Amino acid sequence: MLEIRNLHVKIADEDKTILNDLNLTVHDGEVAAIMGPNGSGKSTLSYVIAGKEDYEILDGEILLDGQNILEMEADARAAAGLFLAFQYPLEIPGVATMTFLKAAMNAQRRTRGEDELQPAAFIKAVNAAADQLAISKDMLKRALNVGFSGGEKKRMEILQMALLQPKMCILDETDSGLDIDALKIVSEGVNRLRAKDRSFLVITHYQRLLDHIVPDTVHVMARGQIVKSGGKELALELEKNGYRDYASAA
Amino acid sequence: MNAPVTNLKTAAEAELARLFASQEPAHLAALREEAFRRFDAVGLPHRRIEAWHYTDLRAMMRHAAPLAPAPSVDQTPCPWSLVNDEAEFHFVDGRLVGAPPLPKGVRFTSLGDIPEKVAASLNKGVDLSGDVVTSLNTAFLTDALLIEIAPGAEVTRPLTLAFETTGATASFGRVIVLVGDGASVSLIETHRGAAGAAAQENTVVEFSLGKGASVEHVRVNAADKNTQILSTVAASVAERASYSTLSFTTGAALSRHQIFTRVHGNDARLGVRGVTLIRGTQHADTTLVTEHDALNGEGRKLFKTIVDDEARGVFQGKIIVKPHAQKTDGKMASNTLLLGEHASMHAKPELEIFADDVVCGHGATVGALDDELLFYLMSRGIGRREAEGLMIMAFAGDALEHVKHEDLREALVGLTAAWLKERA
Ligand SMILES: Nc1ncnc2c1ncn2[C@@H]1O[C@H](COP(=O)(O)OP(=O)(O)O)[C@@H](O)[C@H]1O
Ligand SMILES: [Mg+2]
């Protein structure tokens, strides 16, 4: 369960408050969607949860299964079960995709006190997950995300999510830049991972994604706050009326 | 009239003069005498000498270590082996103590065997007479090895020059490699020393490549961190020949690695690369002068320097393109990662181009690890040090990937990983 209470965040180097008294709870097994206009602070929220260091927490707390994670480094949060699928996954030249995947899986296993994966088991797991996401062997051989198309990068994010088996998954505009086929592949990948002890925070600007990943709850974010919450019908309402009503709500 | 200059010798310079005078009469006395005079006229280079501006040897070399005695056989350590199938020449304190059974097409002669022959091949391909480090090496020459690769020979087993130092003494190694027309060979050069001993090493390796010859040279400085190393690699490259050298440096308190290359035949290819990983208070200088004196030459120079703690890196690279060396295609890049808050780097790339139809360029970057990439890796559960390690390995890998011999490349990756592990 993820609980965000009274969260106030500013950019570390600037006098610019981005999140302003944000409150949000995502229960185990729940798929929560956050919708909001560009610039409302959605990516900032995802970065702050994942532990990026460019921000200063002015007030509030973020609890993952009751534990305050704000003092933890990003890697410790990941080991605790958090995963962020980036809006813009980064290219890492010179780091082979397989090397990276193995490092990530083993690092988390070590943190949890488990043995490192046997090479054969590792390769089998990667190949199985890659098949389901239509990720080619050739992509796995390249440097991480280097030269990948936008859609390939997004599928690679879901591959990582599938392999790391997090408890709390945050997807930041995973639908942006995807054509309809890729959107289906990615959505199916996410839906396969839905489980009663795994929660999702699906951030999107458009309702389209929520046709494929059907949320339990929908929250509207504007000006760094959650300004309205409801069921999946709220997404349809937003689709019809746009964000006009919320632009000045906060 | 110039006022007479009183040349006050430093303690190290005075000691070098005393050591030179104390040497046993040996081969090539006249040659050595002349070399010492050349050194003595200018003394140890200092920061007002342009090529030594960032490495003030006069200030950094406080004393001259006593000359290493001839090694006793029972003290001889096992040579260090980076790959399995190599043929290893083993040097202890600058003297050859063991030579391998030689692959076909390879011959060697040591100074003691035929002094005149070895002497005649010194300083041939590239004129090193103006280089004070080489002059010192020649003045204190105790042993020299001449390796000849027969024309057309394809030597598949790498030849290794394994240099070991055993104590806080000075040693001077010299190797000449003559590669016949159309011959090809890989040569590994390693430097290691006894733990904790402040050895002073000065080695010169001279390559001369015949037409169409091909050489891959990899040099590994893994000397003890108290060592001072002055080293020089020279290569003269004939028509259609291909010479590539990579220096891999993790060792020594003070190191100055000089690379002098001269392309004198048309259509030649040159690859000059380096990976330097330093920490603590290490000072590592890589200085390159490459001269294109023929048509259509291709030169690729790439230097990756990783500087942690308060260590200091220096890169000086000069590409000279002579007036008739048209169609020269030369690129030089020096990329530095500063890891420590007090780490520093001085990079000075230079072009001296006298031909008009050439493509030459250089670039130098100095930066820290990218925080965004670091966050991406850490957000997958990878710890900070390991994430940094992946990025540093990738950074070094840009140069290491050019090493063609697969086991050797893997060995260098392994040495990089070992360096990274010591950071953790
Ligand atoms: N590193 C940053 N420096 C300055 N302003 C930033 C930074 N990151 C985000 N912002 C600003 O914060 C606001 C929220 O951005 P973001 O979280 O990316 O919104 P969203 O994802 O909802 O489009 C925007 O006004 C954006 O310009
Ligand atoms: Mg965003």
pLDDT category of residue B119 using cuts at 50, 70 and 90? confident
Pairwise CB contact (< 8 Å): A95 & B387:
no
Which residues does chain B have within 8 Å of residue A84's beta carbon, measured at their own beta carbons?
379
Length of chain A counted residue by residue: 250
Residue A135 within any structural domain of the chain: no
| β-sheet bridge partners, residue B336 | B305, B366
pLDDT category of residue B14 using cuts at 50, 70 and 90? very high
Residue B25 has pLDDT above 70, yes or no: no
Express each pLDDT in B283-311 by its tens digit: 999 999 999 999 999 999 999 999 999 99
Residue B318 has pLDDT above 60, yes or no: yes
Looking at the 3D structure of chain A, how many domains does it have? 1
DSSP three-state, residue B411:
helix
Give the residue on A whose Cα is nearest the Cα of B391.
Answer: A95
Q: How far does Cα B154 stand from its chain's mean position? A: 24
CB atoms near residue B301 (< 10 Å): 24
Residue A155 within any structural domain of the chain: no
Cα separation of B263 and B257, whole Å?
20
Least CB–CB distance from A84: residue in B373, B379, B383: B379
Query: Where along chain B do its domains lie?
Result: 32-42+76-369
> Which one of A10, A18, A54 would you pick to mutate in the ligand 1 pocket, going by the greatest count of ligand atoms within 8 A of its CB?
A18
Least CB–CB distance from B394: residue in A94, A111, A164: A94
Residue with tokens 């105790």: B142
Residue B363 has pLDDT above 50, yes or no: yes
Q: Could you tell me the residue range of the domain that residue A208 belongs to?
A: 2-92+167-247
pTM: 0.94
Which amino acid does the sequence have at B391?
M
In a mutational test of the A interface, the residue from B335, B369, B380, B392 whose CB has the highest number of chain A CBs within 10 Å is B380
- ipTM score over 0.85, yes or no: yes
Pairwise CB contact (< 8 Å): B379 & A92:
no
Q: Is A44 in the pocket of ligand 1 (CB under 6 A)?
A: yes
Give the residue on A whose Cα is nearest the Cα of B400.
Answer: A94
Residue A162 within any structural domain of the chain: no
Q: Which long-range contacts (CB under 8 A, 24 or more apart) does A181-187 make?
A: A182/A151, A182/A154, A182/A155, A183/A208, A183/A209, A183/A212, A184/A212, A185/A133, A185/A134, A185/A155, A186/A133, A186/A154, A186/A155, A186/A158, A187/A212, A187/A213
Instruction: For ligand 1, atom 16, name the residue with the nearest CA.
Output: A41
Pairwise CB contact (< 8 Å): A93 & B394:
yes
pLDDT of residue A111: 84
pLDDT in tens, chain A (250 residues): 999 999 999 999 999 999 999 999 999 999 999 999 999 999 999 999 999 999 999 999 999 999 999 999 999 999 999 999 999 999 999 999 999 999 999 998 998 888 999 999 999 999 999 999 999 999 999 999 999 999 999 999 999 999 999 999 999 999 988 989 999 999 999 999 999 999 999 999 888 999 999 999 999 999 999 999 999 999 988 888 888 777 654 4
Name, of B16-25, B97-106, B118-127, the range with top average pLDDT: B97-106
Which residues does chain B have within 8 Å of residue A78's beta carbon, measured at their own beta carbons?
378-381
Residue B139 has pLDDT above 70, yes or no: yes
Pairwise CB contact (< 8 Å): A103 & B386:
yes
Q: Which long-range contacts (CB under 8 A, 24 or more apart) does A232-240 make?
A: A232/A33, A234/A35, A235/A33, A235/A35, A235/A207, A235/A210, A236/A207, A238/A35, A238/A207, A239/A206, A239/A207
CB atoms near residue B87 (< 10 Å): 16
Residue A117 within any structural domain of the chain: no
Residue B4 has pLDDT above 70, yes or no: no
Cα separation of B303 and A57, whole Å?
41
- Structural element, H or E, at residue A17: strand A17-26
Cα separation of B313 and B278, whole Å?
8
Cα separation of B57 and A245, whole Å?
72
Which residues does chain B have within 8 Å of residue A111's beta carbon, measured at their own beta carbons?
381
Sort residue B205 into left (φ over 0), alpha (ψ -120 to 50) or beta.
beta
CATH number, residue A22: 3.40.50.300
Average pLDDT along chain B: 94
Residue A127 within any structural domain of the chain: no
Residue A111 within any structural domain of the chain: no
